[in-house]
Protein backbone atom coordinates (compact mmCIF):
# COMPACT_ATOMS: atom_id res chain seq x y z
CA UNK A 1 0.00 0.00 0.00
CA UNK A 2 1.30 3.44 -1.00
CA UNK A 3 0.45 6.72 0.67
CA UNK A 4 0.25 10.04 -1.12
CA UNK A 5 2.09 12.54 1.05
CA UNK A 6 1.79 15.43 -1.40
CA UNK A 7 -1.08 17.03 0.52
CA UNK A 8 0.37 16.26 3.93
CA UNK A 9 2.12 19.08 5.75
CA UNK A 10 3.83 19.23 9.09
CA UNK A 11 2.67 21.89 11.50
CA UNK A 12 4.79 24.97 11.02
CA UNK A 13 6.79 26.54 13.79
CA UNK A 14 4.94 29.44 15.39
CA UNK A 15 6.19 32.86 14.35
CA UNK A 16 8.25 34.11 17.33
CA UNK A 17 7.56 37.69 16.27
CA UNK A 18 3.83 37.25 16.85
CA UNK A 19 4.15 35.98 20.40
CA UNK A 20 3.91 37.87 23.63
CA UNK A 21 6.70 40.10 24.80
CA UNK A 22 8.27 39.18 28.12
CA UNK A 23 7.03 41.63 30.82
CA UNK A 24 10.60 42.56 31.73
CA UNK A 25 11.29 43.36 28.07
CA UNK A 26 8.38 45.82 28.10
CA UNK A 27 9.82 47.40 31.21
CA UNK A 28 13.25 47.49 29.57
CA UNK A 29 11.81 49.33 26.56
CA UNK A 30 10.27 51.93 28.86
CA UNK A 31 13.60 52.44 30.63
CA UNK A 32 15.40 52.62 27.28
CA UNK A 33 13.00 55.28 26.00
CA UNK A 34 13.51 57.28 29.19
CA UNK A 35 17.28 57.21 28.60
CA UNK A 36 17.82 54.98 31.63
CA UNK A 37 20.11 52.57 29.85
CA UNK A 38 21.52 50.82 32.93
CA UNK A 39 18.00 50.01 34.16
CA UNK A 40 17.00 48.96 30.64
CA UNK A 41 19.93 46.56 30.63
CA UNK A 42 18.85 44.96 33.89
CA UNK A 43 15.25 44.40 32.76
CA UNK A 44 16.18 43.23 29.26
CA UNK A 45 18.80 40.87 30.68
CA UNK A 46 16.10 39.22 32.80
CA UNK A 47 13.90 38.81 29.69
CA UNK A 48 16.87 37.49 27.71
CA UNK A 49 17.79 34.92 30.36
CA UNK A 50 14.20 33.69 30.74
CA UNK A 51 13.30 33.50 27.04
CA UNK A 52 14.13 30.60 24.71
CA UNK A 53 14.28 30.77 20.95
CA UNK A 54 14.63 33.67 18.51
CA UNK A 55 13.11 36.27 20.85
CA UNK A 56 16.19 35.82 22.99
CA UNK A 57 18.42 37.32 20.27
CA UNK A 58 16.02 40.25 19.88
CA UNK A 59 16.17 41.06 23.58
CA UNK A 60 19.94 40.69 23.61
CA UNK A 61 20.32 42.98 20.59
CA UNK A 62 18.18 45.70 22.18
CA UNK A 63 20.09 45.27 25.43
CA UNK A 64 23.37 45.73 23.55
CA UNK A 65 22.16 48.92 21.85
CA UNK A 66 21.29 50.26 25.30
CA UNK A 67 24.69 49.28 26.69
CA UNK A 68 26.34 51.01 23.72
CA UNK A 69 24.37 54.19 24.44
CA UNK A 70 25.37 53.95 28.11
CA UNK A 71 29.03 53.65 27.04
CA UNK A 72 28.70 56.65 24.73
CA UNK A 73 27.29 58.81 27.51
CA UNK A 74 30.12 57.70 29.79
CA UNK A 75 32.88 58.31 27.24
CA UNK A 76 33.75 54.66 26.58
CA UNK A 77 34.52 54.82 22.84
CA UNK A 78 35.77 51.22 22.32
CA UNK A 79 32.99 49.78 24.49
CA UNK A 80 30.34 51.65 22.51
CA UNK A 81 31.64 50.44 19.15
CA UNK A 82 31.97 46.87 20.38
CA UNK A 83 28.39 46.79 21.68
CA UNK A 84 26.97 48.41 18.54
CA UNK A 85 28.64 45.73 16.41
CA UNK A 86 27.34 42.92 18.62
CA UNK A 87 23.85 44.42 18.60
CA UNK A 88 23.82 44.45 14.80
CA UNK A 89 24.79 40.76 14.77
CA UNK A 90 21.90 39.85 17.06
CA UNK A 91 19.35 42.05 15.31
CA UNK A 92 20.39 41.16 11.73
CA UNK A 93 18.14 38.06 11.42
CA UNK A 94 15.02 40.19 11.99
CA UNK A 95 14.13 41.58 8.57
CA UNK A 96 10.87 43.11 9.71
CA UNK A 97 8.93 44.05 12.81
CA UNK A 98 9.05 41.65 15.73
CA UNK A 99 6.84 41.80 18.81
CA UNK A 100 5.78 45.28 17.71
CA UNK A 101 9.37 46.52 17.45
CA UNK A 102 10.45 47.99 14.13
CA UNK A 103 13.75 46.12 14.12
CA UNK A 104 14.98 47.47 10.76
CA UNK A 105 14.47 51.03 12.05
CA UNK A 106 16.23 50.18 15.33
CA UNK A 107 19.18 48.80 13.35
CA UNK A 108 19.27 51.94 11.20
CA UNK A 109 19.14 54.19 14.29
CA UNK A 110 22.03 52.24 15.84
CA UNK A 111 24.03 52.46 12.57
CA UNK A 112 23.54 56.22 12.52
CA UNK A 113 24.74 56.47 16.12
CA UNK A 114 27.79 54.40 15.21
CA UNK A 115 28.57 56.78 12.32
CA UNK A 116 28.30 59.77 14.66
CA UNK A 117 30.52 58.12 17.27
CA UNK A 118 33.14 57.29 14.65
CA UNK A 119 32.98 60.83 13.22
CA UNK A 120 33.61 62.32 16.67
CA UNK A 121 36.33 59.83 17.53
CA UNK A 122 37.54 58.94 20.98
CA UNK A 123 38.89 62.39 21.83
CA UNK A 124 35.65 64.22 20.99
CA UNK A 125 33.12 61.64 22.17
CA UNK A 126 32.20 63.99 25.03
CA UNK A 127 30.60 66.23 22.34
CA UNK A 128 28.04 63.55 21.49
CA UNK A 129 24.54 65.03 21.65
CA UNK A 130 22.19 62.87 23.75
CA UNK A 131 19.33 63.93 21.44
CA UNK A 132 20.89 61.70 18.75
CA UNK A 133 19.84 58.63 20.78
CA UNK A 134 16.42 57.60 19.52
CA UNK A 135 13.80 55.64 21.46
CA UNK A 136 12.95 52.08 20.49
CA UNK A 137 10.60 52.17 17.47
CA UNK A 138 7.79 50.20 19.07
CA UNK A 139 4.31 50.23 17.52
CA UNK A 140 2.01 48.24 19.77
CA UNK A 141 2.32 49.52 23.31
CA UNK A 142 -0.70 48.81 25.45
The predicted-structure confidence for 55-77, as pLDDT tens digits, reads as follows 999 999 999 999 999 999 999 99
Q: How confident is the model at residue 142 (pLDDT cuts 50, 70, 90)?
A: very low
Q: Is 75 left (phi over 0), alpha (psi -120 to 50) or beta?
A: left
What is the CATH T-level fold of the domain 21-132, as seen in this structure? Hyaluronidase domain-like (1.10.3450)
Q: Residue 2 pLDDT more than 60?
A: no
How far is Cα 51 from Cα 26, in angstroms, rounded to an integer? 13
Question: Please, what is the average pLDDT of the chain?
Answer: 90
Those residues whose C-beta lies under 8 Å from the C-beta of residue 140, and which sit 6 or more positions away, are 100
**Cβ neighbours around 78 below 10 Å, total:** 9
Q: How confident is the model at residue 139 (pLDDT cuts 50, 70, 90)?
A: confident
CA distances from 27 to 39, 89, 96, 115, 123 (A): 9, 23, 22, 28, 34
Amino acid sequence: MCFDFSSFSLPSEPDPCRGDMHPQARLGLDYFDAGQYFEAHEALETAWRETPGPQRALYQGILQVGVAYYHILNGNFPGALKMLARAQENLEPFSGPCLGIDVPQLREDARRVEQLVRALGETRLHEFNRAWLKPIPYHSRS
